[in-house]
A = this chain, B = another copy of it.
Amino acid sequence: MSVKPRLYKGFRDIFATDIRQRNAMIETIRNVYELYGFQPLETPAIEYVDILGKFLPESDQPEGGIFSWKNEDNEWIALRYDLTAPLSRVVSMYPDLPKPFRRYQVGPVYRFEKPGPGRFREFYQFDFDTVGTSSVIADAEICCVICDTFDALGIEIGQYIVKVNNRKVLNGVLEAAGLTNFSKVITSEIVDAKGSIRKSVKEVTTNDIFRSIDKIDKIGMDGVVQLLTSGRRDSSGDFTPGLQLSDQEVQSLVRYLTTRGENRALVCDQLEDIVGKSPIGLEGISELREIDRHLTALGYEVNQVEFDPLIVRGLSYYTGPVYEGILTFQITDEDGMIKSFGSVFGGGRYDNLVERFTGQKVPATGASIGVDRLLAALTTLNRHRIHSSLTEVLVTILDKNYATEYHQIVHTLRKAGIKTELFLGSGNIGKQLKYADSLRIPFAIIAGESEFEKGTVQIKDLELGRQLSDTISDRSEWRQEQPAQFEVPKENMVAEIIKRLNRTR
């Protein structure tokens, strides 16, 4: 008969402290976004599947990656998997929206993927985008927003870096190397770890070059070169056939990928050498130079925003500048490995995304925060930690005959703006104080017949009590002195509590 209480896998409940930490962080970020003129938008959790588009793994049936089902009219509907696809719908549905349309949106998105530790199927994103301008100043601004957000959250310069690249430069490098329309069929004999041989035939394109480059974080430059040439055997013994690029082709890619410079202008100078006369490459570099000019004019130096040719970004819809906001401080991962925290902001320019609705080009650029990852980072850095209880006072019930009097005490405290709870469970004073302890409520009010007759209350400073109990070892001494409990006239109660709250606030 009875139902087993349980959560669907990949979903979770979030309790008070975590919610308050997340909300405090969101509030801080919201203030930064609003300072830049971004305004809130909310779209529904459910959209038509064709509106969301197929920017997650491809499949004819809407299954992989998204929660979808058929509605009353036999149409496929789904839970949104990001906030960008709905934004592009909004922009094309309301042509009268003043442009540029600068909006932020924060809310849960849903992925029908295999859940794991720290990987949920419902998680928060917090996006901001400028839609309707091709001005690269908008891209420079995105970088400023990311820096200012880190600053506002108390993450210091040196603990983060914003890395910028431009898809156009990468395309220019490919163009200069004659790889723009790269496409070939690769036949290879694969000897697996057990020694058996099988033949592999695979058609590869420019996308496979991007994909190879995108793996540099995991496999290093040598690994990338192997993938671009003869193929790579990983530590498990599995073999990935290579793209069989020529030495010259690989050289120009490696030269591009190893481009470094002391400042952004120097990176641009070097990139200019590599893209040669490629028009798209030169356009990309010119955009980077404009971004650099604006960042420099506003005082965002290379220790905050750098140009990094290694930033590729997985999503297929990016067309220009791409950005990542990376936390560089080190953490120990689940496997005990020390590594830098990594990317928490990601974004870029996507000038063609709205086009699939209107047929009209509506240029756009923006970025998105992984809210949960950023929150985990703040926890690591001990920023925005919330230790205290939301509730400030527990009024205990010593004698049920005085129920309305206790309630009046509660009412008085609330009228003074003090978050107060009347204990409504069952149990003696010991159990009531234990309840306050388990919620980490800092103060308790205790009053019995003698206090009501005298017109006083006992204030118990539970936080002080916790501290003192660490220093006093003698339990009888403790019981006698009650050093963290004191009696005050009722009319002084509010002032006394406020005084003590201010001390710890």
A residues at B contact (CB < 8 Å)? 2-8, 11-16, 19-20, 23, 34-37, 39-48, 50-51, 53, 67, 69, 71-72, 77, 79, 89-90, 92-94, 98-100, 102-103, 108, 110, 112, 121-122, 130, 132-133, 135, 137-138, 140-141, 144, 293-294, 297-299, 356-359, 390-391, 394, 403-405, 407-408, 411, 414, 417-422, 424-426, 435, 438-439
Contacts and interface: CB of A to CB of B under 8 A. Distances in A.
A298 B4 CA distance: 41
Given A3-B357, A13-B90, A356-B2, A408 B77 contact: no
Contacts of A102: 421
Nearest to A400: B135
A435 B40 CA distance: 18
A8 B44 contact: yes
A34 B92 contact: no
A435 B98 contact: yes
A247 to B, nearest CB: 41
Contacts of A4: 357
A414 B36 contact: yes
A23 B37 CA distance: 18
A424 B93 contact: no
A11 B297 contact: no
Contact of A39 (B72, B391, B424): B391
Contacts of A411: 144, 298-299
A391 B34 CA distance: 7
A5 B53 CA distance: 11
A305 to B, nearest CB: 14
B407 A294 contact: yes
Contacts of A299: 411
Given A6-B51, A294-B404, A425 B37 contact: no
A419 B357 contact: no
A265 B206 CA distance: 82
B34 A13 contact: no
A169 to B, nearest CB: 21
A54 to B, nearest CB: 11
B133 A8 contact: no
B359 A13 contact: no
Nearest to A75: B8
A5 B44 contact: no
Given A6-B51, A34-B390, 8 more contacts: A3-B356, A5-B92, A5-B357, A8-B47, A16-B41, A46-B110, A130-B424, A133-B425
Contact of A294 (B11, B358, B403, B414): B403
A235 B53 CA distance: 50
Contacts of A130: 424
Contacts of A42: 13-14, 19
Contacts of A137: 403, 407, 422, 424
Contacts of A421: 36-37, 102
